[in-house]
Amino acid sequence: MEGRISAFRGSFRRKSGNQMIVHVDGVEDKAKAQALVGKTVVWTAPGNNKKQLKGKIAAAHGGKGAVRVIFETGMPGQSLGEPVKID
């Protein structure tokens, strides 16, 4: 399954560096997003190292199928808009 990172989770003034909002392909409502809670998400960094940052889906976010993902470490800004794999 694949998704796309859309934003950092946070308010106008404060962002959570390791929490991201991810839109999953084919998930259009909150009930389907809730079924994904607990699955692992992997983002592969560009470049020669191909470092992989892993996280878990913590909860649904909103009513249109987005999910909140908590990663092990802080995410770089270059990850915005990039695809992720969901296992």
Count up the domains in the chain and report the number: 1
Q: What are the beta bridge partners of residue 72?
A: none
pLDDT of residue 46: 92
- What amino acid is encoded at 58 in this protein? A
Return the DSSP state at 30. Answer: H
| Integer Cα distance of 77 and 62 in angstroms | 22
pLDDT of residue 16: 86
Place of tokens 């989770």: 9
Decide: pTM greater than 0.75: yes
Residue-range definition of the domain harbouring residue 45:
2-86
pLDDT of residue 15: 86
Q: What is the CATH number for 8? A: 2.40.10.190
| Integer Cα distance of 73 and 54 in angstroms | 8
Average pLDDT, 10 consecutive residues per value, the chain (87 residues): 95 90 96 97 94 97 96 95 97
